[in-house]
Every structure is written in C-alpha cells, then in structure tokens.
Amino acid sequence: MPPPQPDALADALIRVPRHEFIPALAWAVPQGAGTPPAAASGYWIDQHRDPDRWWRAVYSDTVIVTQLDGGRTELTPANAAAPSTAPSCAASSPLLVTAGLRHLAVRPGDRVLDVGGGTGWTSGLCAYLAGDDALVTTVEIDPDLARTATENLARCGLHPAIVTGDAATELPSSDGESDGLFDRVHVTCGVTDIPYVWVEHTRPGGHIVLPYNPPIGRLLRLTVHEDGSATGRFGEECSYMPLRSERLPQAQAQPADADTTGTDTHPRVRTLDSAPGSDSGTESLLHPAPAPGLQVLLASLVGDEPWVNGSGSVLLTDGVSRATVEDGGRLTQTGPRDLWDEAESVHRAWTRHGRPGLDRIGFTVTPQRQYVWIDDPSVPAAHTLDNPADKSADKSADTATTVGASLG
C-alpha cells in the first residue's frame, strides 16, 4: 500500500465538506455497530428538529443511510430499522473513505473513475485531489441518485462528469486522452467478483481500490500491469453494501439468528471435539477472532467466516447452506455444502503453511480468472493449500456481475 498523503487529503475534507452531501432527514449507523453495520442499531437524524444531533452524526464515524431498497421504500425511522428493508445508498464511514483514498493516492492531473456515485461525496474528494473536476468521471446506476449527486457537488462548485449506467459491463472513456484510460479507479461498493472491465480501463501502472467484501471485507489495492493482469494486497477491514446484483433478494434474507435448520430435510448433526489442539472446536476458528490472513482465506475460499450472533451461536453461511454451533459444541449443517467442514479444512491448511498473514496474501485478476494467493501472485491459494474444498476459489472474470450499490 502507498504511504498516506495526510496534507492533501485533510485539505480535501475541508474543501469538500461531508455535510453538503447529507440530506436533512437520514438514518445514522455508528461504525462498529455491526458487520456490516446493523441498520437496527442506528438512529434518526433531522437537521431541522435537532440540528445538534444531525451535525454530530455528520462529523462522526457513522454510515449515514440516505436510500432504502433502491428508492422503492420511503426512508423513515421505522423502515430504516426494519429487517425487511435494505439500505441502497449511504454516505460511507469517514474513516473508511479516507483509508481508501490514501490507498488510491490520487495525484494532481490523474484521471479518476469513481464507481458508484451515491451522494457524490467521494467523487468530490477525488476531483479536489486530482486538481480538476473535469478529470473525474462517476458512474452511478440509479438515475435519481445521479441527479442528487450532481446537485450536491454543484453546491461545492464541483462538476465532474456523472454518467448513469452499469459500470460492471461498460465504462465511459476518460475524456481528453487518446487511449481513454484512467489512472485511478475508486470503487464504493462491496465486490465479490471483480469486473475485468475495470482492469481494461486502467492504465498500466494505475491503481484500483475497492472493498473486497465476502462478507467481512478488506480494502484491496490492485496495480494494473502491461500484460492485462492486476495484482495487489489487502488493507483495512471494511464493510460496504454489496453490488446490487450480489445482494440476496430481501424476501430471501433472514435474521442472523433465525432458526433455519428445519429447511433441510436431512440436517447433519454432530458434536465437535473441543479438546485442546483440536481443529474442529469453535475455539480453533473463533478464539481469538480469526487472524486477518485466515479471514481473507475463509471469505474467499468458503464464502464466509464463522461469527457469533446475538444469541451466542456460531454461524457460517453462504446464503443457501448454513452451519450453526451451539453451546456444548453441537454442530448442525444444512444445505448442499458442509460449510463447517470446509472451514476446518482451510484452517488446517492455513496452519500447515505457517499461518500466513496479510503480508503474504494478495489477489490477482486476469482476463480468464481471479483468485486469492499466498506468496506467489501467479498461483491460486487453492492450489497452494492443496485443499479440495477450495477449488471453487478460481473465479472466472466471466462471472462478474452488475454494479449497483451506491455509496459516496
């Protein structure tokens, strides 16, 4: 990761103030309230009725939700807290925004693509760092959000190009450059399958910064190479709303502590061995919390990592299959995959290979595939670990899906 640029970024935060991008009525969720931030733990802010509370929320480390369900559900306190609704636009946590921009390292004169305009705040920050708002192009899938972002930016005297479209399939060219390429690509939605079009539109030597987000994510900074590949390493832990196409339909979403064991007519039940040194006890995967390197491997190779829900049960799920460990070590697995067994397998392989941390783990994207790696960017971690459960890790770029989350 590049060194931080505190002076330029600090100046940008003053010149492009966050409050210009926050509506009078919104739902504020403190960072750390949940992963991803749990909407139910938020609170309503009203600039007219309680201006002090509104200003405190705007200038604290909060995610501020400005839209629900793609605009189909009215943003009210009751709706924002309801488990049946999903945030679809938010002003991201200031700490995460600044971390991502430090890694992006926008230089004066850089041409920048901002994927997911949302409120317009990050587009404005990129425009200030680039030194000219004409150097920044923003792609936003939601026409209403694109209009709002344009209005917010105009209040700051900024007018970057805002294009309504699907940034996962087709991107506008960088204006004023014969090759139409960008020096920096800034992504503000959680990504599982990275669209190769982002690599194609980045100049060799340029950088892409995105939240690699399945499901407890980390910032990922990729550098694009002459051969058309991109490689990079992981940074801070983060939690962003995923691409709209990667979100479960809300009708399928369930509370984290919902009892779904009965949905499988053949649940697999056994008692885990919690003896010291055992690989199958919950302690081996949770206590202490999985190391950052193991988190990345579990998220990419299994699709989730074990975590403790509000009832004290340990959960692991890919949205279809599910593993639950209750007090006493009773393990119940449902669905087509035995997720706990896969997680144990990854944990054992990770331990055999010296428990690599983020200094040894990275990510590669090529036209044919994308994968997490250990030590060698040309070899997928699934092959390094030689773990049959991991073979699904080689994700083809062909599976990249539609960008739709809107954060700013």
Q: How confident is the model at residue 328 (pLDDT cuts 50, 70, 90)?
A: confident
Q: How confident is the model at residue 246 (pLDDT cuts 50, 70, 90)?
A: low
> In this structure, are 233 and 117 located in the same domain?
yes
Distance of CA 10 to the CA centre of its chain: 24
Please check the confidence at residue 227 and state whether its pLDDT lies above 50: yes
Place of tokens 């600039």: 47
The answer as to whether 252 is a domain residue is no
Query: For 338-374, what is each residue's pLDDT tens digit?
Result: 999 999 899 989 999 999 999 999 999 999 999 999 9
- For the four alpha carbons of 128, 132, 133 and 136, in that order, the dihedral sign comes to negative
Question: Of 5-9, 98-102, 196-200, 276-280, which range is least confident?
Answer: 276-280
Mean pLDDT of 254-258: 44
> In this structure, are 87 and 98 located in the same domain?
no
The answer as to whether 358 is a domain residue is no
The answer as to whether 287 is a domain residue is yes
Domain final residue, candidates 56, 91, 126? 91
Domain around 335? 257-352
> In this structure, are 104 and 229 located in the same domain?
yes
* Number of domains within the chain: 3
The answer as to whether 366 is a domain residue is no
pLDDT value at residue 49: 98
> In this structure, are 84 and 125 located in the same domain?
no
> In this structure, are 65 and 16 located in the same domain?
yes
Residue 334 tokens read as 């449902």
> In this structure, are 84 and 155 located in the same domain?
no
> In this structure, are 298 and 347 located in the same domain?
yes
Q: Name beta bridge partners: 211.
A: 219
> In this structure, are 130 and 24 located in the same domain?
no
> In this structure, are 279 and 315 located in the same domain?
yes
> In this structure, are 50 and 111 located in the same domain?
no
pLDDT value at residue 252: 43
Q: How confident is the model at residue 39 (pLDDT cuts 50, 70, 90)?
A: low
Q: How many CB atoms lie within 10 A of CB 226?
A: 7
Q: How confident is the model at residue 215 (pLDDT cuts 50, 70, 90)?
A: low
> In this structure, are 281 and 329 located in the same domain?
yes
Q: How confident is the model at residue 94 (pLDDT cuts 50, 70, 90)?
A: very high
Q: How confident is the model at residue 394 (pLDDT cuts 50, 70, 90)?
A: very low
Please check the confidence at residue 395 and state whether its pLDDT lies above 60: no
> In this structure, are 102 and 234 located in the same domain?
yes
Mean pLDDT of 41-67: 96
